[in-house]
Structure 1
Amino acid sequence: MKHPVVISKVVLLALFTGLIPLTSLGGIAEADEIVGPIVGTVEPTTARILYRPGKIETKLQLTVLKDGQPIKKVTTTATEANDFVAKFEVTGLKPATNYSYQIDEIRGSQKESVASEKDHTFTTVDPARKGNRVSASFVSCVDIEPNGIWNEMEKLGVDTVFLMGDTPYIDTSDLAIVREKQRQFLQVSDLEKLAAHTPVVGTWDDHDFGLNNGNGLNMMNGKGKTRQGFVEYRAHSQYGNGTEGVYHKVDLGMMEVFLLDPRYFSQSEPSPVDPKQPTCFGAEQWDWLLKSLKESKAPFKVLSMGAIWQDKKNRETDDMFTYWYERDALLDFIKTEKIGGVVLLGGDIHVARHLIRPQRVGYDLHDFIISPGHTRTITSLDVYHPSLEWSLVEGWQFLTLTADGTTENAKLIAEFRQPDGVVNRKIEIDLNEMTVDSDEDAAPELRAHWNFDNGFKNESPLGSRIDATPVNGPTINQQDGALGGSVHFSRSKQQYLTVPRSFLDDNSAEHTVSMWFKPETLPEHDSSSRSFLLESTAEGEPSQTGAWNLSLGMRATDQPDKINLQLYTFTVKPASKPEAAPTTGAQGPFNTLLDREQLLGKWNHVAFTFDQKKLRLYVNGKQVSEHAVPIPGPACETGGLIIGGHRAGTGRNFDGWIDEVKIFQGRLSADQISELRNESKD
């Protein structure tokens, strides 16, 4: 929104004849030098507004009006040191109140309006934690070009706009260019019109941080300049710790948005979670985040940033798989502290996605990715993830989150949107589904349970999400199982069950598998044959791809009376050098020799536990072996599960009966495993 400048006929004649250069007129600026006004962080009693009058130093006065009557005046000066951007902070306002404002340039005793009251408004936040409704829009990856999303947000009447990074693309630490691109971005006409009355705040990602795949180490010499340009052209209540970073939060009453900075501190210091690993967030931001989350009274809490919370599965390292130890420690903190109403939000990858991490924080954790706001998509980043519910590879996308406390049960409504009123996906989450039972302790959680009494359905709280599907005709025997019904597998027919989704946390730190099996045959002595009870898959369907973090099978030994009950696992390995991504790799085999006669033709209970450092194997209620994991670390991402076979489904199948397959998030004790064994009838 450019504002008219009144120039006399004499001056105009001089300008057109070249007698006076435009830039020499002290109070007159070129139109493309003006920015704003832009409404920034608005709180219940405070509002922040920025305005750049042009490339001129001048005194400015902001007047806030209520019903046309002036109630507050704030004076400041646009100076060259801040690229001539003036900031106004208005305090002492009333909550949930509509105001208008105007800006005047002061020249001695004279005032000249540069932003009239018309079309310049803001509404202070309603701090109510219930009985209220608030809506915000989120967008990432937007360039300096015409765009249909701003006008769509205008029509929706959102309460706040959050810029999630790569807003805009800058890709340099040259301060003059940083300032110019920040200025040009805020001058995009529809965004400027929207920002004149709707708060616009945000964080950054790599391209507005200054470098593709940029971090605090490879941008060490430039991040101060890109931060300076960011701070100058945003009107926030906080910019990181005051001198470094840009993290902050915005409390909208029903919803509090935490705008994280995964760039400035990354790779520049040891992690506060694991000093042997490089940090993403940095110690100060980490402490601020945990403290702020714990203190938050908002029903819904949005942890938002430009990077994504999963593995991009490409060569870049700017995702939270690179810093899995900080991500997982944060989610564990939310669970341990019983912090309800949390959702995750990321951007960056030029694909919009919705994931649900089952029971990750004591309840299902919704994870939204919103990208791109421009039209350039990246199909190759629409990759498999076991928690993926939906994705869309199209441009001009943005997300709205509405916290609605006006109904009996408060809910968070997420809508993936495009211009012209298009809603591609809508999710409603009740607040009572986003709380941790206050009586719940840290005991291992039952994540999967197939009892085979009446089919192949899962009986754990995850429900039908992980029902098993029979392949090649395994049959249910409703009697004579270890406990009720059981499933029978024929090795000759290559029978198995497949489970399409994961049930464990990403990078599971601790888990337990328990099951009963009764083999009809065992791998023949002195042969290379193998027979698997179960093995996890990489992408929810049978394949040879390595990801067997759960693997339990039997193979022959050189001793005719023995069978090898063999474990493998597949774990995350720390990065080998700075600015490198972690890797994953197979660990094992871990061998345990048992008597053939002990197993063949009898029901046997078997269980194993994993805790990053050790695998422990239990048979019929007693620990029979313990194996150190050579390279300690959490299990890698699990896609699904094969029961009665190995990861490829066919080729190494089990022959006999299986019953009561249970998988727990957490490590059961020896006594708890003994109790599982004793649940069954003899």
Structure 2
Amino acid sequence: MKLSHSSVLIRWTNRLLLASACIASGCLVCSFAFAHQPDEVGGSGPVTETVGPIVGTVEATTAEFLYRPSATETRLRLTVIDPTGAAVQSVDAKTSADNDFVAKFSVQGLTPKTRYRYQITEVGVSERMLVAADSQHAFVTANPARSDHRVSVAFLSCVDIEPSGIWSDMRQVGVDSVCLMGDTPYIDSVDLATVRDRHRRFLQMPDLAELAATTPTVGTWDDHDFGLNNGNGLSLMKGKQETRRGFVEYRAHSKFGSGTEGVYHKVDLGMIEVFLLDPRYFSQTEPSPVDPDQPTCFGAEQWKWLLENLQASKAPFKVLALGAIWEDKKNKETDDLFTYWYERDALLDMVKEQGIGGVVLLGGDIHVARHLVHPQRVGYDLHDFVISPGHTRTISGLDVYHPSLEWSLVEGWQYLTLTADGSGSNPKLIAEYRQPGKVNRTVSLSLDELSVRPSVVDDSSLRASWSFDGSMKNESVLGDRVNAKPVNGASIVKDAGVRGDAVQFSRAAEQYLVVPRSFLDDNSAGHTVSLWLHPKSLPRHDSSERSFVLESTAEGMPSRRNAYHLSLGLRAAKESGKVNVQLYTQTLKPAGEPHAAPTAVSQGPFDTLVDREQLLGKWNHLAYTFESGRLTLYLNGERIGVHKLPIAGPAAEFGGMVIGGHRAGEGRNFDGLMDEIQVYQFVLAPTGIRRLAQPK
């Protein structure tokens, strides 16, 4: 709740009286504590030049700090004190106008999982205590063990310079580290004086200052603290060095990007390793390292660093965190990873190919909290956490449909904790979506759930499978997520199939099945559809009749909206003895101009003529493969059509499927039996398709 002007006046009157008494008595600690407080009415201005002290990156044997006592040059000494009271490390630093009078301290050689206190003194002709080594100025080094301990990290994005209950709630929850995920704070300027001023005001907020004095606080940036709404490395080419300079000055990290460019880095906390990515600085500035015909998001240096460090990570849980989101925002902005889907997908493909377990995604930016689960994307279900906003201004228009969406909440003052608990034989990662005083959603994931299991490796690429033997349940690794549901009386006929039962459709009754969720990877570059069909009737010759075998839908229910990446149908041909087996698809078309996101483009029809007598009243096996640049159609194991796509690209988004009908369900339905419908998340070789075409 925002403080009233009268409440703020009373608070500041009390502080002034306390500070006056403390100053009169010579209490420097209390004097500096008062000086840390900014004006709370809208954050209109700081009352002091002091920032910090801030505890930054803390790992097992190292710790980083920053402190700005005033806007004057001075020499400072930070001393670390162990539990026995002994001073174990001292580091000197000098403030100057060149670094906005911010001192940085890097301490090495500490003992893991140990609580230390620290103090900061001004050194020179005389030594003066500025920060006392007390319980308000302490930190705990990380436990480097990969099991048998618990560590909790808080994430939040989109925070204004204003009172908030989040920071005190984090203290009460007892998080071990805080990650500021961008728009923390809002700056929207590349003027260095403005950048520095906004960072100072942000870190001077009383509750955040109190939290950061004891809790390691690190982060990355997003567009508003990078300098421009929807900004990228090209559009801010002339200003990003200044915004980076201000960011580096006011964050106590062990690493900032390459050292001269970008701000990416990582924090290893034993049970969990957080990769704080930078999707801004390098974006649009050079060709992508995975596709030289497309602009990069991460840049070649960051890409190399990320792959090498992710492959080398020994932490059970690995968080790939950035300020943007990993999916399509579905608005006019282009600062999401959908814009750079080729780099996102290459990264996830690497995780899958290398068998890297424990990976989750994290994003922010959109003023909505969301939880998505991408089924079997990396050899296991990939959980995608979006946490935003940390202020109270929400954007309901960005709470958009996505086939992997499980939950969302359009409310303010939200943050997320990820807790890695290694106390048992099967470590757990517990995600909690929080607001001050309450938990809105809890997701508990075991390490087994986030690992490639040898027992299912061979089956993980079979994404959908309906045998219709006694039920319409899906029998692939995706389970009940894609069970088929009958509409208008579509039913199973016992012992009528190629093997066992089959599903029967009546065209006259407009019968079909609905599959409520998608089953392929986002932007799938290659997959196979296989099925058996036994038409009772076919579209009449010399008519406009069509009979759809299957067609994908925009969302979970039938709709006329275009989302027919998967589309297989039958229609009359000009020749009386033929029927047209017709394919359509929708793919992503790369952006034709700088900074633009890809768009879905419809392609087809792709026609293949088949003898009517071959299909009518008989069981036949149909299969087709999608390979980004072409569609290949098979009948009874033999290739009968190869169709080059005019515009090559991966699959466009779809949200489910209609079996036995058009995507809208009504009209153009299939008439007859179907059996053993399967979809594979790879392109089956001709030999594999021939095996499927054997009736056994």
TM-score, length basis structure 1? 0.95
Match of 2:388 in 1: 371
Please state if 1:126 is matched with 2:150: no
Please state if 1:33 is matched with 2:46: no
Question: How far off its partner does 1:673 sit?
Answer: 0.5
Of 606, 615, 629, the match for 1:590: 606
Find the aligned partners of 1:84 and 1:393 in 2 and give their Cα distance: 40
Find the aligned partners of 1:344 and 1:280 in 2 and give their Cα distance: 16
What does the per-residue CA deviation read over 1:360-408, in whole Å, with 9 as the maximum and x for residues that have no partner? 0000000000000000000000000000000000000000000000012
What does the per-residue CA deviation read over 1:73-115, in whole Å, with 9 as the maximum and x for residues that have no partner? 1111111110000011111110000000111112413333344
| Superposed counterparts of 1:6-21, under 5 Å | none
Please state if 1:75 is matched with 2:92: yes
8 Å CA contact 1:357, 1:365 repeated in 2? yes
Question: How far off its partner does 1:436 sit?
Answer: 1.6
| Superposed counterparts of 1:96-495, under 5 Å | 96-420=113-437, 422-437=438-453, 445-495=461-511
Find the aligned partners of 2:406 and 2:456 in 1 and give their Cα distance: 28
The alignment partner of 1:33 has SS state of coil
Match of 1:18 in 2: none
> CA 1:241–1:31 in structure 2 vs 1: closer, same or farther (change >3 Å)?
same
Report the count of equivalent residues: 660
Question: How far off its partner does 1:116 sit?
Answer: 4.4
8 Å CA contact 1:370, 1:399 repeated in 2? yes
Match of 1:15 in 2: none
Amino acid at match of 2:431: A
8 Å CA contact 2:376, 2:460 repeated in 1? no
Find the aligned partners of 1:31 and 1:648 in 2 and give their Cα distance: 63
Amino acid at match of 1:305: L
8 Å CA contact 1:504, 1:638 repeated in 2? no
The alignment partner of 1:626 has SS state of strand
Of 513, 517, 531, the match for 2:533: 517
Match of 1:564 in 2: 580
- The gaps in structure 1 that reach 5 residues or longer are 11-29
> CA 1:375–1:60 in structure 2 vs 1: closer, same or farther (change >3 Å)?
same
Amino acid at match of 1:180: D
Match of 1:529 in 2: 545
Find the aligned partners of 2:294 and 2:599 in 1 and give their Cα distance: 14
8 Å CA contact 2:121, 2:129 repeated in 1? yes
8 Å CA contact 1:465, 1:501 repeated in 2? yes
Residue identity (%): 64
| Superposed counterparts of 1:549-628, under 5 Å | 549-628=565-644
The alignment partner of 1:491 has SS state of coil
8 Å CA contact 1:47, 1:124 repeated in 2? yes
- The gaps in structure 2 that reach 5 residues or longer are 1-14, 27-45
Find the aligned partners of 2:343 and 2:478 in 1 and give their Cα distance: 26
Find the aligned partners of 1:196 and 1:110 in 2 and give their Cα distance: 22
Amino acid at match of 1:507: N
Question: How far off its partner does 1:621 sit?
Answer: 1.1
Find the aligned partners of 2:454 and 2:487 in 1 and give their Cα distance: 41
8 Å CA contact 1:105, 1:114 repeated in 2? no
The alignment partner of 1:571 has SS state of strand
Question: How far off its partner does 1:274 sit?
Answer: 0.4
Find the aligned partners of 1:522 and 1:596 in 2 and give their Cα distance: 8
> CA 1:632–1:442 in structure 2 vs 1: closer, same or farther (change >3 Å)?
farther
Find the aligned partners of 2:404 and 2:682 in 1 and give their Cα distance: 19
Give the aligned CA root-mean-square deviation in angstroms: 1.7
Match of 2:37 in 1: none
Match of 1:652 in 2: 668
Find the aligned partners of 1:387 and 1:399 in 2 and give their Cα distance: 19
TM-score, length basis structure 2? 0.93
Please state if 1:90 is matched with 2:107: yes
Find the aligned partners of 1:403 and 1:253 in 2 and give their Cα distance: 9
Of 73, 88, 92, the match for 1:57: 73
Question: How far off its partner does 1:646 sit?
Answer: 1.2
Question: How far off its partner does 1:153 sit?
Answer: 0.3
Please state if 1:675 is matched with 2:691: yes
Find the aligned partners of 1:635 and 1:551 in 2 and give their Cα distance: 12
What does the per-residue CA deviation read over 1:583-632, in whole Å, with 9 as the maximum and x for residues that have no partner? 11111111000000000000110000011111110001111111111111
Please state if 1:505 is matched with 2:526: no
Question: How far off its partner does 1:117 sit?
Answer: 2.9
The alignment partner of 2:308 has SS state of helix
Amino acid at match of 1:130: S
What does the per-residue CA deviation read over 1:316-340, in whole Å, with 9 as the maximum and x for residues that have no partner? 0000110000000000000001100
8 Å CA contact 1:443, 1:666 repeated in 2? no
Question: How far off its partner does 1:7 sit?
Answer: 6.5
Find the aligned partners of 2:413 and 2:312 in 1 and give their Cα distance: 36
8 Å CA contact 2:55, 2:215 repeated in 1? yes
The alignment partner of 1:545 has SS state of coil
8 Å CA contact 1:164, 1:205 repeated in 2? yes
> CA 1:605–1:444 in structure 2 vs 1: closer, same or farther (change >3 Å)?
farther
Find the aligned partners of 2:496 and 2:57 in 1 and give their Cα distance: 67
Find the aligned partners of 2:210 and 2:369 in 1 and give their Cα distance: 26
Find the aligned partners of 2:247 and 2:456 in 1 and give their Cα distance: 44
Amino acid at match of 1:349: I
Find the aligned partners of 1:442 and 1:497 in 2 and give their Cα distance: 28
The alignment partner of 2:370 has SS state of strand
Find the aligned partners of 2:235 and 2:665 in 1 and give their Cα distance: 45
The alignment partner of 1:377 has SS state of coil
Find the aligned partners of 1:121 and 1:592 in 2 and give their Cα distance: 73
Amino acid at match of 2:282: F
Find the aligned partners of 1:489 and 1:368 in 2 and give their Cα distance: 40
What does the per-residue CA deviation read over 1:419-444, in whole Å, with 9 as the maximum and x for residues that have no partner? 01x11100111101111245887898
Find the aligned partners of 2:566 and 2:135 in 1 and give their Cα distance: 65
Find the aligned partners of 1:321 and 1:506 in 2 and give their Cα distance: 10
